[in-house]
Chain A
C-alpha cells in the first residue's frame, strides 16, 4: 500500500476470534482458464496444444464474522466476491487456505451443513418457472426435511414479512422480477438457515422493491439472529444494513472494518452544497475549496474534514448565500476512490 491509503490493510481488532461463526483464513482460489485463440488454424492447433492461463480470483483473504452480524462484502465486478461466497457455500473448493462456517468445512458439503445455510443469487433462479412458488416450496420442505408445523410457521412469517400474499399460487413465469426475487428469498429461508449468503439480492429490481428486500433482510436478521454476508452493487443496501464492510479488489482484501470509519479514512472530506444569489458569487467559490460541481446558482465544494467549520464560517461571511448544507461524501465516491487508488497502485505490485 502506498501513501494515498495509509493503514488500510491493517484489520480492525474485532471481537474474539474464537466466538466467530465464520472463519476465513488465507483463502485463495485460482482458476485455470483455457486460452481460446481466434481463427480456424489457431483453434485447430489449440485442440492439440492447449494453453492455459492462471487467474487468481481470490487471493489470501482472511476475516471472521461474528454470529448475528450483517457484513457487507464490497468490490467491483470480478473482484472475487461471488467466488468467495461460492467457496463459503461449498460450491467451490479453494486452491489454498481455509474456511470454516459453524465448524464445518463448507466444500465437504455435509448434509447438516447444507441444511443450515442458504445462498441467494440475484441473477439466478431456483424456482421452477412453470409452477406456483408454493409447489417449489413444498419440494424444499421434503428436501430439507422440515417438519410440517415448523414449515407452516416459517411460511406464515415469510408471507407476512415479504408481503407475499397471493403471489405463491401463481406460476412463477407470470411474476415480475421483484416479486420473483421475494419468492426466491422465501424459498431460500424456509429451512431457517443460520448463515445466509446473499449475492446481489436486489439486482435489477426497482427502488421500492429494493427497500422492501433490504428491510426484510434486516428484520430476518433481528428475528432469527442469522448471520448474513451480503454483496450488492447498490450502496444503499450496504449502508442500510451493514455496520461493517469487507472490501476486496482483484481478489485481495483491501479493508475490513466500520463503514463510517472507511469514509473518514479514504475521503477525509466534507461536501458543502450551496445555493447562491448571483452567478459571480458561484464562480468565486472555488477559492474556498475544490469545486466539485458548479451549475448556475448551485454549487458543491469539497473541503478537508477538519477545516469544515472554519471554511463554512468564511463563506457565510463573504459570499451572498441563500442556502448551505454540509454532507459526508457519498459512499459510492468513497468506494470508487478506493478502487481507483488501488488500481494504479495494484498494477505496480503485480
Chain B
C-alpha cells in the first residue's frame, strides 16, 4: 500500500457506509417487497392488537397493566422487531447460509475483522416498514398515556433500544456460531424468536418459572419491557445502567464465543 492506512475507526465507518449503500441498492431490485411488508406488518399488528383487545374486553387490568400501557409494550415490540429484522437478521441468516455453502471463507479472506464484516455486511431496508409502523404506534400509544416526551426521555429510550438490539444480536450470534459445529441447525434463529415473541405481553402474566427465565436467562425484559418503560418516562437510572451493562457483557461474551467458534472452524483448536 502506498498510502498510510486510514485511522481504523474512520476506516470501519467508511466500510459500514459502503456495506449499507450496496445493500440498499440490492434491495431496490425487490421494491414490491416494501408494500408487501407494510401490508404484512399491519395484518400482523391487527392480530396482536386484536387478541390483546379481546382479552381486555373481559378485564381492565392484566397484572397491573392497563390496556393503554400494554399497547406501549406492543408498540415497542414492533419497533424492536423491525429494527432487528433491518440490521441484525439479514446478517445472521447470511452467516448461517454461508457456513452451509462454504462462502464464509470469503469473509475470512478479507483483511478486516471477520465479526465486523459478518455482522454489518447487510441491511434490509424494506424491513424499515415494520420499524416505522412500530415507531408510529409507539408515539401514538405514548401520547394516549398523556406522557410528554423530554430530551432525557428520548435519549434513554434510544439507548435502551440499542441495548435491546445488542442483546438480541449477542444471542443470535451465539446461535449462529453453533452452526460452525452443527451445520444442520439452520433454523436455529427460531429459538431467538420464541423467546422474543413472549416479550410482547407484560412479563408479569407468565408463571413464575417462565418469568425468571425471561428476566435472567434470556433477558427479554431488557429487550422490550425496559425500552417501553423508558418511553413512558418511568425508567430509573440504575435500570438504564443495568440494561447497558447487560448488553455490553452479552456482546463481549458472544464475541468471545464467535472467536472460539472461528478457531474451531479453521481447525485451530482441534
- Contact flag (A, B; Cβ within 8 A): yes
A124, B29: Cβ atoms closer than 8 Å:
no
A143, B111: Cβ atoms closer than 8 Å:
yes
A143, B112: Cβ atoms closer than 8 Å:
yes
B111, A144: Cβ atoms closer than 8 Å:
yes
Q: Chain B's nearest CB lies how many Å from the CB of A101?
A: 13
Stretch at the interface among A114-122, A209-217, A224-232, A264-272: A114-122
Closest CB pairs A-B (n = 3): A130-B26, A114-B111, A126-B106
Chain B contacts for A150, CB-based, 8 A: 2
Residue on B nearest A141 in the bound complex, by CB:
B18
Is B54 among interface residues, defined by CB-CB distance under 8 A? Answer: no
Separation of A143 and B15 alpha carbons in the complex (Å): 7
Q: Can you sample 7 A-B contacts with CB below 8 Å?
A: A86-B105, A93-B270, A124-B106, A136-B22, A142-B18, A145-B1, A145-B6
Separation of A139 and B19 alpha carbons in the complex (Å): 7
Is A135 among interface residues, defined by CB-CB distance under 8 A? Answer: yes
Interface residues of A (CB under 8 A from B): 29, 31-32, 86, 89-95, 107, 109, 111-115, 117-119, 121, 124-126, 128-131, 135-136, 138-139, 142-145, 147, 150, 171
Q: Chain B's nearest CB lies how many Å from the CB of A144?
A: 6
Separation of A115 and B108 alpha carbons in the complex (Å): 12
A114, B1: Cβ atoms closer than 8 Å:
no
Chain B contacts for A29, CB-based, 8 A: 267
> Quick one: CB contact mask for B1-33 with A, threshold 8 Å, 1 for yes?
111011000010011001100100111011000
Tell me which of B11, B106, B270 has the highest count of chain A C-beta atoms within 10 A of its own C-beta: B106
Chain A contacts for B5, CB-based, 8 A: 145
Separation of A313 and B185 alpha carbons in the complex (Å): 69
Chain B contacts for A31, CB-based, 8 A: 267
Separation of A117 and B105 alpha carbons in the complex (Å): 14
Chain B contacts for A125, CB-based, 8 A: 103
- A-B contacts counted at CB < 8 A amount to 87
Of A92, A115, A119, A128, the contact of B267 (CB 8 Å cutoff): A92
Q: Chain A's nearest CB lies how many Å from the CB of B93?
A: 14
Chain A contacts for B27, CB-based, 8 A: 130
Given A124-B102, A126-B103, A139-B19, verify A93-B25 contact (CB < 8 Å): no
Residue on B nearest A171 in the bound complex, by CB:
B29
Is B217 among interface residues, defined by CB-CB distance under 8 A? Answer: no
A124, B105: Cβ atoms closer than 8 Å:
yes
Chain A contacts for B25, CB-based, 8 A: 131, 135
Instruction: Taking A135-B22, A142-B11, A143-B15 as given, write out 6 further A-B residue pairs in contact, using a Cβ cutoff of 8 Å, ordered by the A residue number.
Output: A29-B267, A31-B267, A90-B108, A130-B29, A145-B11, A171-B29
Q: Chain A's nearest CB lies how many Å from the CB of B124?
A: 12
Chain A contacts for B63, CB-based, 8 A: none
A91, B112: Cβ atoms closer than 8 Å:
no
Q: Chain A's nearest CB lies how many Å from the CB of B178?
A: 15
Residue on B nearest A87 in the bound complex, by CB:
B267
Is B152 among interface residues, defined by CB-CB distance under 8 A? Answer: no
Q: Chain A's nearest CB lies how many Å from the CB of B118?
A: 13
Residue on A nearest B113 in the bound complex, by CB:
A111
B268, A131: Cβ atoms closer than 8 Å:
no
B266, A89: Cβ atoms closer than 8 Å:
no
Chain B contacts for A126, CB-based, 8 A: 103, 106
Separation of A195 and B109 alpha carbons in the complex (Å): 13
B110, A114: Cβ atoms closer than 8 Å:
yes
B105, A121: Cβ atoms closer than 8 Å:
yes
Separation of A93 and B112 alpha carbons in the complex (Å): 19
Separation of A125 and B101 alpha carbons in the complex (Å): 10
Residue on B nearest A132 in the bound complex, by CB:
B25
Q: Chain A's nearest CB lies how many Å from the CB of B199?
A: 31
Chain A contacts for B2, CB-based, 8 A: 147, 150
Given A115-B1, A171-B29, verify A32-B105 contact (CB < 8 Å): no
Given A121-B105, A124-B106, A126-B106, verify A139-B1 contact (CB < 8 Å): no
Given A93-B267, A95-B270, verify A128-B26 contact (CB < 8 Å): yes
Q: Chain B's nearest CB lies how many Å from the CB of A195?
A: 12
Given A115-B1, A131-B25, verify A107-B268 contact (CB < 8 Å): yes
B109, A90: Cβ atoms closer than 8 Å:
yes
Chain B contacts for A129, CB-based, 8 A: 26
> Quick one: CB contact mask for B83-120 with A, threshold 8 Å, 1 for yes?
00000000000000000011101101111100001000
A124, B268: Cβ atoms closer than 8 Å:
no
Of B22, B30, B103, B111, the contact of A139 (CB 8 Å cutoff): B22
Residue on B nearest A126 in the bound complex, by CB:
B106
Chain B contacts for A143, CB-based, 8 A: 15, 110-112, 117
Chain B contacts for A93, CB-based, 8 A: 266-268, 270
Chain A contacts for B270, CB-based, 8 A: 32, 93, 95
